Structure 1
Amino acid sequence: MAWNTTVEYTFDVGNYTVERLCNSLVITAVNGSLPGPTINVREGDTLIVHVLNSSPYNMTIHWHGIFQLLTAWYDGPEFVTQCGIPPGGNFTYRFRIVDQEGTLWWHAHSSVLRATVHGALIIRPRRGNSYPFTKPYQELPPILIGEWWNSNVVDIENAITEIGDAFPEPDAYTLNGLPGDLFNCSQNQTFQLSVRQGKTYLMRIINSALNNQHFFKIANHNFTVVAVDASYTNPYTTDVIVAGPGQTVDVLFTANQPVASYYMAASPYRTLTGDFLNVSTRGILVYENSTSASPVNVTMPINNDTATAHRFFTNITGLAGGPHWVPVPLNVDENMFITFGLGIVACINCTGLGDGRGFSASMNNESFVLPSGRGMSMLEAFYQNASGVYTKDFPDNPPLVFNYTDPNLNNGLQDIAFAPKSTKVKTLSYNSTVQVVLQNTAILAVENHPMHIHGFNFHVLAQGFGNYDANTTEPTFNLVNPLVRNTIGVPVGGWAVLRFIANNPGIWLAHCHFDAHLPWGLAMAFEVENGPTPGTTLPGPPADLPKC
């Protein structure tokens, strides 16, 4: 395609019928495809996406990454930056792609429709075809790791929300919407890629799953990681990729094995005990001129291999001095220590935990509630300086200091498992530097949570297990070439330290990217104040912004 200053797409979100796992199911998707369209742009382009909602559900689209400042109106989360596009309605998202290159993605940010409403967003360099690595022979189609349920996901969510229960395990995992040959009726629904022996390829991997992190491998092949979340990295060689929901990984790999076909596979990385779907979704990498009857098998890590996951997440560093690199800000204006994890809520008809109790979640003992039914989104309230939609008292620290990762927590601290429901934000001055320690808690369970901050990239200065100790950890901060991400997998029973500059006015959601945890309340929001000039002040809402 020809590259232009302005790139336009039309998304028609509607229902259509697909065949999976021996069944027919009506799903909601964009332009009748799963995954939806891949958006191709160059850094510096203006992207315009016209969304027509032909589905029976309210709809919003969220775009991972950072874009031209002052575009908070187009961020997408329902009731945060906009209200849903109603059935039969439309809304146009428009922003300029700035200061990032690589793979991002887009997805529905309304209900659990993200399961089938998602796709890749690929940003290539503006300066010719230059990358900060040797140009590959070819770029392969992006690979989106997903999940599949044999029922309508919105109906599932409505049913489990009413009783405070957990979201059920999927019936299959998928690669680009296809379950692969280990699942029923799926021999002919297996994703395939073709390569030429001796050539090096650029592969883009996206975890678009609702509730599972994944390992990804290709039999007998290694990868060289060159970017994560559209931020370049120092080259890192590995035989396994790990990605949580919301995360993207760009890798180079060379087809340097004998001419044959090889299985590629994604399998869950799970740190919770209990029953789950422990079956890989498989695709096939086929060498040109291969005559092999069956692909070479791939051996996956065990599902709870935290050592492998942690090694992957912590060995990658940012490409300091590379394209769009931003040095770590050294002077911190705001320090926050945020505990987060699961909890308990008392509710009528709750059966999730029995005895009138259901699952809940919180950050600093505040369980976030989206402000539906309040007449406007949080961003509209910010712009109009209206009260009654949210409050500005999200705490900088938890209300109680305790042994956050004690495995015996549930025996003695049940009172802190109950968090009040609220819609609270942390107010940040424009251009202030914010440091956040995210601390897992062991209330009910411990797991690796993929935490996503809208509107900003952040430096990951350190991460580890157990309780965070500033005295021992701060001297080890990587202030030279830390990883830059927009979604961080906070280690199971551990912590991570993030730092970013609040230079994007508006309301920005921060939440766990396990979709089951967001409606439980594992979220908060940052309110970033306007700057001192018209160019640093949030403009008025677009004329076609959906009404609440």
Structure 2
Amino acid sequence: MAARAYSSSIGLPYDNTTITAILHYNLNYHPSSPPKRPSLPYYNDTSSAFRFLGQFKSLNSDDYQDLVPLNVTRMVTTVSMNAFPCVSPTNASCEGPNATRLAASMNNISFENPDIAILQAYYKHIKGVFGTNFPSYPPFVFNFTADYMPLELEVPRLGTEVKVLKYNTSLEVVMQGTNLLVGIDHPMHLHGNSFYVVGYRFGNFDEKKDPLAYNLKDPPLRNTAAVPKNGWIAIRFRTNNPGVWLMDCHSERHHTWGMDMVFIVKNGECPDESILPPPPDMPQC
């Protein structure tokens, strides 16, 4: 076995170690020839990396197939790198182009952490902590993966916006990568739910054509999936876990720069379809 890192970042250090291992079975087996060393793709070969990921399948059974949501509500969100103007160019955080402060966003909103936890504010009905207007579609529609991007699109707005969903909604989320500031892969993670990866492609998502090629038979069940550089990925899941759930990029810098959003899943009708109360010994913040 052999593996090497995949990195689409330009000019950023990464672990370029190639790791190898031999899997030995304790059986009476004598190979006729020594194992061949594989020829690995180059570290930034995006096509090879996603061609490999595209081979992942789930169990192909009738029971499993019934779990993949078919009649869904679709939501589309961009995932972008951004920049804010810096107040002081001498500040150490002003490392972006033209002495800007690097940022990230989803649907042009750079997530701002509130002083009170969103879960606490939602459960205790505390007003003014978050808004409920996270858009279902990108507020600005343009050629997301073009080589040239208007500079005015690089600056997002700061906000703490959530998406409120009814219990047991069948949801499709299409995450569209953009070439704003720089195109790069984004490993997106959803808390509170696993999801089916039903499709991906490079370029801009075509709402009429691309869903026709979805894998709805045996898509892999994941909780983290990579949005390809200058491409998109489509996931589906049912909101059958009431609560407040973050969806964020697991590249830590992108996460802290604002590539996050929150789903609030409302309670269902039965007692076991409701958010549990906090424990009585829960410490105060």
Give the structure-1-normalised TM-score: 0.47
Q: Which residue in 1 is equivalent to 2:136?
A: 396
Deviations 1:6-63 (A, max 9, x none): xxxxxxxxxxxxxxxxxxxxxxxxxxxxxxxxxxxxxxxxxxxxxxxxxxxxxxxxxx
SS in 2 for 1:358: strand
Q: Identity over the aligned pairs, expressed in percent?
A: 37
Conserved 8 A contact 1:382-1:506: no
Conserved 8 A contact 1:427-1:526: yes
The alpha carbon displacement at 1:320 in A equals 3.0
Q: Which residue in 1 is equivalent to 2:182?
A: 445
Structure with the bigger RCO (C-alpha within 8 Å, sep 6+) is 2
In the alignment, does 2:279 pair up with 1:542?
yes
Runs of 4+, deviation exceeding 6 Å: 295-298, 322-325
C-alpha separation in 2, matches of 1:286 and 1:495: 35
Q: 1:279 to 1:459 in 2, by over 3 A?
A: closer
Deviations 1:221-257 (A, max 9, x none): xxxxxxxxxxxxxxxxxxxxxxxxxxxxxxxxxxxxx
SS in 2 for 1:312: helix
Q: Which residue in 2 is equivalent to 1:367?
A: 110
Q: 1:435 to 1:275 in 2, by over 3 A?
A: closer
The structure that is strand-richer by fraction is: 1
C-alpha separation in 1, matches of 2:25 and 2:139: 61
Pairing 1:404-443 to 2, within 5 Å after superposition: 404-409=144-149, 413-443=150-180
Q: 1:547 to 1:320 in 2, by over 3 A?
A: farther
The alpha carbon displacement at 1:281 in A equals 5.4
Q: 1:493 to 1:286 in 2, by over 3 A?
A: closer
Pairing 1:96-245 to 2, within 5 Å after superposition: 218=1
In the alignment, does 2:242 pair up with 1:519?
no
Q: Which residue in 2 is equivalent to 1:474?
A: 211
Q: Which residue in 2 is equivalent to 1:344?
A: 83
Q: 1:547 to 1:346 in 2, by over 3 A?
A: farther
Deviations 1:270-317 (A, max 9, x none): 11222524530546548599xxxxx99765421111222111111222
C-alpha separation in 2, matches of 1:528 and 1:473: 28
Letter in 2 for 1:362: S
Q: Which residue in 2 is equivalent to 1:176?
A: none
Letter in 2 for 1:314: G
Conserved 8 A contact 1:352-1:358: yes
C-alpha separation in 2, matches of 1:270 and 1:316: 20
Deviations 1:176-219 (A, max 9, x none): xxxxxxxxxxxxxxxxxxxxxxxxxxxxxxxxxxxxxxxxxx2x
Conserved 8 A contact 2:94-2:102: no
Conserved 8 A contact 1:327-1:480: no
Conserved 8 A contact 2:202-2:232: yes
C-alpha separation in 2, matches of 1:275 and 1:331: 42
Letter in 2 for 1:359: L
SS in 2 for 1:309: helix
SS in 1 for 2:253: coil
The alpha carbon displacement at 1:383 in A equals 1.1
Conserved 8 A contact 1:343-1:362: yes
Conserved 8 A contact 1:453-1:508: yes
In the alignment, does 2:245 pair up with 1:502?
no
The alpha carbon displacement at 1:268 in A equals 2.1
C-alpha separation in 1, matches of 2:12 and 2:106: 27
Q: 1:505 to 1:287 in 2, by over 3 A?
A: closer
The alpha carbon displacement at 1:323 in A equals 8.2
SS in 2 for 1:392: coil
Q: 1:275 to 1:458 in 2, by over 3 A?
A: closer
Deviations 1:458-512 (A, max 9, x none): 1222110100112211222222222221111112110111111111111000011
The alpha carbon displacement at 1:339 in A equals 0.8
C-alpha separation in 2, matches of 1:518 and 1:496: 18
SS in 2 for 1:391: coil
Letter in 1 for 2:16: V
Q: Which residue in 1 is equivalent to 2:31?
A: none
Q: Which residue in 1 is equivalent to 2:192?
A: 455
Deviations 1:92-117 (A, max 9, x none): xxxxxxxxxxxxxxxxxxxxxxxxxx
Q: 1:316 to 1:386 in 2, by over 3 A?
A: same
Q: 1:330 to 1:323 in 2, by over 3 A?
A: closer
Conserved 8 A contact 2:166-2:266: yes
Conserved 8 A contact 1:320-1:327: no
The alpha carbon displacement at 1:393 in A equals 0.9
Q: Which moved more, 1:280-289 or 1:309-318?
A: 280-289
